[in-house]
Amino acid sequence: MQVRIKRSGVFVSAAGLSITLAAAFIVMLIMIFSLSETPKDTIYYFFAGPVTNNYYLGNMLNSAIPLILTGLGISFAFRTSMFNLGGEGQVYAGGLAATAVCLAMPAAAGFTGISTAIIAAVVTGAVIAGMSGFFKMKWNTDELISSFLISNALIYIVDNFITGVLDDPENNLLTTKKIAEQFWFKKIYPPSNLDISIFFIVILAVLAYLYLFRTHQGYEMRMCGLNSEFSRYGGINVGKYMVLPMLISGGFHGLAGAVSVLGTSHQCYKGFSGGMGWNGIAVALIARNNPIAVIPAALFFAYLEAGAKSAMINADITIEIASIVQSVVFFLITAQAIYNFVKPRRRSA
């Protein structure tokens, strides 16, 4: 009986998800047909572009890495009913912290530099998001708005570091100096940018799943998300689970920034993390805040972005049509009516 209920739940999720994705797909086709002079080519480049050669395929997989991390970060927050809308700034500041550490110790051994940079980025992200959690616990300040505002202020401040103190004087680009080569992650699929971190990230997703679903703390965290009053009554320290998930969430975002810098860009350029935070929210929603499901959801989003990029380079549309498609996913992904519609109606006995 238990098994049957579970299976039907999965069926409903899958059917509801496919309706959402189908709607997004239709909206995209409508846009391409109305905006493109050569709709057939555009559609070809959109869908086939990301997988036509090893370079594009590797880069697409590589761009899924930060999305898995931000998706995991958001999953932790959402599972506990904390809204972290500051992902953009947390990734950006994490990337800056990692870059700053690497630039400060150019002669350090690879392992020392990488681990210090990663710790710095994780702590930076965790502190930024943790502030919103702390305000919420202490004074009941709405974390949704505060995390967004703090993040947006930080984006400009990080911009200032990149074009100011850390700017590379040798060129006119808005970027810091390159970090020393011993800190670069090893590439595993040349000529693409895909690097070795993808293995660690997948392991991290599994660990996140085990923590959330197989540990006492994970259980308490999920309980607080389901019903915070009931959890308080049950003796759970609810305040702790306003701060902890935000710290974890911010830490994942900071890590996403570090991994992008150490693995891909090797420097912090202005706006390098644009979209990673928002897309992380979409990824977590599609994955229903399940850390394992975050991996395919991130791949889907990476594919969407890569498709839009390929269509922009090879055809006549602009990459922002991807954000319209994403907005359709956002609009429909939580729509209960869609799931009720596909749910098999119980026969009245």
Partner 1 sequence: MNSGEFSIPLIHNSVSIMTPFLLAGIGGLMTELAGMLNIALEGLILIGAFFSVIFAASTGSLFLGLLLGIMMTIFISWIFGAITLYLKANVFITGLATNLLAGGLTTVLSFHMFGTKGVLMFQDLPKLPSLKIPALHGIPVLGDILLGHNILVYFGWLIVVLAWVLIYKTPFGFRLRGTGSNPAAMTALGLKPINYQMAGILISGFTCGLAGAVLTLNLGAYVPNISSGRGWIALVVIYLGGKTPFGILGAAFIFGLAESFSNYAQGFMNIPADFILAFPYLITVVAMVVMSIIQHQKAD
**Binding of residue 327 to partner 1 (CB under 8 A):** yes
- CA of residue 246 relative to chain centroid, distance: 14
201 touches 252 (CB < 8 A): no
Per-residue buried b or exposed e for 25-49, using 16+ beta carbons within 10 Å of the residue's own CB:
eebbeebbeeebeebeebbbbbeeb
**Binding of residue 281 to partner 1 (CB under 8 A):** yes
**Binding of residue 149 to partner 1 (CB under 8 A):** yes
* Nearer to partner 1 among residue 164 and residue 344 (C-beta): 164
**Binding of residue 21 to partner 1 (CB under 8 A):** no
Of 56, 76, 92, 135, the residue at the interface with partner 1 (CB under 8 A) is 135
* Nearer to partner 1 among residue 117 and residue 281 (C-beta): 281
* Nearer to partner 1 among residue 16 and residue 263 (C-beta): 16
Of 54, 160, 217, 237, the residue at the interface with partner 1 (CB under 8 A) is 160
Part of the chain binding partner 1 (CB under 8 A), chosen from 9-17, 64-72, 147-155, 185-193 = 147-155
* Nearer to partner 1 among residue 22 and residue 207 (C-beta): 22
**Binding of residue 98 to partner 1 (CB under 8 A):** no
Taking the C-alpha atoms of residue 236 and residue 184, their distance in angstroms, rounded to an integer, is 43
Residue with token string 């972005």: 305
Part of the chain binding partner 1 (CB under 8 A), chosen from 146-154, 184-192, 216-224, 290-298 = 146-154
Q: Backbone dihedral region of 266: left (phi > 0), alpha (psi from -120 to 50 degrees) or beta?
A: left
Of 14, 33, 104, 142, the residue at the interface with partner 1 (CB under 8 A) is 142
Of 61, 285, 298, 306, the residue at the interface with partner 1 (CB under 8 A) is 285
Part of the chain binding partner 1 (CB under 8 A), chosen from 68-76, 117-125, 151-159, 234-242 = 151-159
Minimum distance of partner 1 from residue 229's CB (angstroms):
17
**Binding of residue 337 to partner 1 (CB under 8 A):** yes
Q: Backbone dihedral region of 344: left (phi > 0), alpha (psi from -120 to 50 degrees) or beta?
A: beta
Q: Is 167 helix (H, G, I), strand (E, B) or coil?
A: strand
Interface map 58-97 toward partner 1 (x if CB under 8 A)? -------------------------x-x------------
Taking the C-alpha atoms of residue 183 and residue 148, their distance in angstroms, rounded to an integer, is 31
Q: For 175, which DSSP code?
A: B
Tell me how many residues contact partner 1 (CB under 8 A).
Answer: 50
Q: Give Cα separations from 205 to 101, 282, 285, 294 (angstroms).
A: 26, 17, 16, 8
**Binding of residue 29 to partner 1 (CB under 8 A):** no
At residue 223, φ and ψ (nearest 5 deg) are -60, -45
Among 288, 118, 290, 283, CA closest to 208: 290
* Nearer to partner 1 among residue 62 and residue 147 (C-beta): 147
Of 3, 4, 5, 140, the residue at the interface with partner 1 (CB under 8 A) is 140
Q: Is 195 helix (H, G, I), strand (E, B) or coil?
A: strand
* Nearer to partner 1 among residue 208 and residue 329 (C-beta): 329
Minimum distance of partner 1 from residue 214's CB (angstroms):
27
Residue with token string 């953009």: 88
Minimum distance of partner 1 from residue 247's CB (angstroms):
18
Per-residue buried b or exposed e for 69-102, using 16+ beta carbons within 10 Å of the residue's own CB:
bbbbbbbbbbbbbbbbbbbbbbbbbbbbbbbbbb
**Binding of residue 163 to partner 1 (CB under 8 A):** yes
At residue 195, φ and ψ (nearest 5 deg) are -120, 175
Question: Binding residues for partner 1, per CB under 8 A?
Answer: 31, 35, 83, 85, 135, 138-142, 144-146, 148-150, 152-157, 159-160, 163-164, 278, 281, 285, 317-318, 320-324, 326-338, 340
